[in-house]
Structure 1
Amino acid sequence: MVARTILLIDDEECVRELVQTCLCDLAGWNVITAASAQSGLKQLTAHHPDAILLDLLMPGMDAITFLERLHSNPSTASIPVLLLTVKAHWFTSQKLQQLGIISAISKPFNPVTLSNTIAVALKWKV
């Protein structure tokens, strides 16, 4: 199994802890966390993750601004992004594609199947 690195950006500490535990323990992936979109952008300069899990609703910089900055930088533009949000139902596949997002995962999510959901969305072997 390939050790993947995921950047998780979510302002809720309990969500960050749960997702990190699930992805590390069940999938063997490395998880870098950020409590805000601004912090997530800084993490991108230190790490080049294989994918980003991004909460939609956060204080400060919103997810749309984060995506614009991510996609405007040639060194980060190709990193796949998945939303992890209570508002996943807002997004049609067409809207996700327009924003450059692979998929939207609803909160609450099943912790046991989260890594598989991510792997399937990203077409990673599980």
Structure 2
Amino acid sequence: MPSSRLLLIEHEASLRSVLDACLGELGDWEVTSSRSIQEGISLCNQHHPNVILVDASTPEDDALLLMEQLKRDSQRRAIPIVLISAKADWFTISELHQMGFLGAISKPFNPSTLSAQIHRLVSYQILPP
């Protein structure tokens, strides 16, 4: 039985599939997948996730505006957003909080520990002011 609902926003189909399998099968998450931030906003309103995992690198023209909308909506509903990115190590936790993220996970990621990383971030979450 899934322990939590997770909204996955990843534009690359193959990576989205791998992440979905890692989180759903190895991590016991109930995963709703989205191929874009815009679609993710809509799915967030329908599925009410407990956490959002988003790859912010996207080909969407208005990605920054959509990301800001997603952050506003998630903060209003107290849904933590975790960034997954090859550039995750570029930021301190303080900088991530200032940008509206709970934390970040680096790519490449370890499929067997990914779910635990997300659970750990959410369990010890200190939301930005």
Q: Provide TM-score, normalisation by structure 2.
A: 0.85
Deviates more, 1:105-114 or 1:67-76: 67-76
Deviations 1:24-46 (A, max 9, x none): 11121110011111111111121
Q: CA RMSD in A?
A: 2.0
2:51 maps to 1:51: yes
Deviations 1:46-86 (A, max 9, x none): 11000000102101132x43342134337854110000111
Amino acid at match of 1:12: E
| Structure-2 separation of matches of 1:75 and 1:43 | 16
Unpaired runs of at least 5, structure 1: none
| Structure-2 separation of matches of 1:14 and 1:66 | 23
Q: How does 1:1-126 map to 2 (within 5 A)?
A: 3-60=3-60, 61-62=62-63, 64-73=64-73, 76-123=76-123
Paired-residue identity, %:
37
* Inter-CA distance 65–115: structure 2 relative to 1 (3 Å threshold): same
Displacement, 1:95?
1.2
Unpaired runs of at least 5, structure 2: 125-129
Q: Provide TM-score, normalisation by structure 1.
A: 0.87
| Structure-2 separation of matches of 1:74 and 1:57 | 19
Aligned length: 123
